[in-house]
Amino acid sequence: MSLSIIFMGTPEFSVPTLRSLVDAGHRIRAVYTQPPRPGGRRGLDLQKSPVHQAAELLGLPVFTPVNFKDPEERQRFREFDAQVAVVVAYGLLLPEEILTGTRFGCYNGHASLLPRWRGAAPIQRAIMAGDKKTGMMVMKMDKGLDTGPVALTREVEIGDTMTAGELHDKLMLVGAKAIVEAMSKLEHDELPLTGQSAEGVVYAAKIDKGETRIDFSKPATDVHNHIRGLSPFPGAWFEAEIAGRAERIKVLGSELADGKGVAGEVLSSDLVIACGTGAIRLTKLQKAGGKPLTADDFLRGTPIAPGTMLAAGLA
């Protein structure tokens, strides 16, 4: 047996779930994803989303509405007569007519341990806050923002040096397995639903460019969490005077280190930087227009001498 499913997702994070549902034998009636966006080196080419590309390779019909305000768009969704909709990082708000437009409703794979980190950036916010664990939750969607009852939970440990990119890739695979398991239980009427707690609600606001600059006046642990929570995208950064001019440099990796000095001061030749309390070592860096490099490789082409002050504070 199998379920008839409408799949809704957009980024690479969603692709393993789509493929896993197909591999599990479910019938994908339609795939919804966000419309092609300008891309390419000059931003002139329209690029299909990763889910769009994957769906085409799988021979699945793809739909890219800007929203669901059009009554004809909502009607088409209902006419697929799917048993359930699976939503993973789709990126569009779903009106009630879509949430109730299939027999069993819409089930969402969300990358946090709800009710902590509801919203747009749960992976980054969990690391930036220093959380030691997170997870994937499959929940039945309602009209609220990630407020629906939870059907299945899979916890994931967050390592001390794990970046948002690494956690993203781990949760992406954990989430795919969780959705397939949840759909199997739903098919056999064995999927329980538990309401979320009213306590411990935290919102994961979208990352703003204004918060990406590194503030070395903060404690070393906070700086380290900030760096790895924004790695590899959009990337935390600092400014330093190199060869007589100010350059912006992204930091994609760091670790806690021993050291003490003025916040933002380079303490050693291997890029130990003083923070408000404690110090960190920068382990992976990237100049504007350049490739990510280990600290050793970066310093061969861009020396940063001990005593150099890295610009601290908010932009």
Biggest CA-to-CA distance, the chain: 68
Q: Is residue 307 part of a domain?
A: no
Q: Let me know if 146 is exposed, middle or buried by CB neighbors in 10 A (0-12, 13-18, 19+).
A: buried
> Are residues 218 and 187 both part of a single domain?
no
114 is in an annotated binding site: yes
> Are residues 199 and 228 both part of a single domain?
no
CB 148 within 8 A of CB 174: no
303 is in an annotated binding site: no
What is the distance of C-alpha 162 from the center of its chain? Answer: 13
Give the CATH number for residue 123: 3.40.50.170
Q: Kindly report, residue by residue over 25-76, the tens digit of the pLDDT.
A: 999 999 999 999 987 666 678 999 999 999 999 999 999 999 999 999 999 9
92 is in an annotated binding site: no
* pLDDT at residue 172, rounded to an integer: 98
Q: Is residue 87 part of a domain?
A: yes
- Other C-beta atoms lying within 10 Å of the C-beta of residue 17: 27
CB 80 within 8 A of CB 2: no
Q: Is residue 218 part of a domain?
A: yes
* pLDDT at residue 244, rounded to an integer: 80
Q: Kindly report, residue by residue over 148-204, the tens digit of the pLDDT.
A: 999 999 999 999 999 999 999 999 999 999 999 999 999 999 999 999 999 999 999
Q: Is residue 314 part of a domain?
A: no
> Are residues 152 and 264 both part of a single domain?
no
Nearest CA-CA partner of 229 in 122, 124, 118: 124
> Are residues 22 and 124 both part of a single domain?
yes
* pLDDT at residue 313, rounded to an integer: 43
Q: Which residue has the tokens 């220093």?
A: 130
> Are residues 26 and 120 both part of a single domain?
yes
* pLDDT at residue 314, rounded to an integer: 40
Confidence of residue 312 (pLDDT cuts 50, 70, 90): low
Q: Is residue 275 part of a domain?
A: yes
Q: Is residue 63 part of a domain?
A: yes
> Are residues 153 and 34 both part of a single domain?
yes
Last residue of a domain, one of 163, 185, 203: 203
> Are residues 147 and 241 both part of a single domain?
no
Give the CATH number for residue 281: 3.10.25.10
Last residue of a domain, one of 186, 203, 220: 203
Domain range enclosing 41 = 4-203
> Are residues 282 and 156 both part of a single domain?
no
> Are residues 11 and 145 both part of a single domain?
yes
Tell me how far apart the alpha carbons of residues 256 and 225 are, in angstroms, rounded to a whole number: 10
Which are the contacts of 228, defined by CB distance < 8 A and separation ≥ 6?
127, 161, 162, 163, 164, 253, 254
Total domains in the fold of the chain: 2
Q: Kindly report, residue by residue over 132-153, the tens digit of the pLDDT.
A: 999 999 999 999 999 999 999 9
Average pLDDT, the chain: 95
* pLDDT at residue 43, rounded to an integer: 67
> Are residues 198 and 236 both part of a single domain?
no
Sign of the Cα torsion 274, 276, 279, 285 reads: negative
Q: Is residue 310 part of a domain?
A: no
Q: Kindly report, residue by residue over 290-302, the tens digit of the pLDDT.
A: 999 999 999 999 9
Stated pTM of the model: 0.94
Tell me how far apart the alpha carbons of residues 272 and 2 are, in angstroms, rounded to a whole number: 56
Name the more confident of 82 and 242. 82
Tell me how far apart the alpha carbons of residues 245 and 172 are, in angstroms, rounded to a whole number: 41
Last residue of a domain, one of 203, 224, 244: 203
Q: Is residue 311 part of a domain?
A: no
112 is in an annotated binding site: yes
> Are residues 159 and 243 both part of a single domain?
no
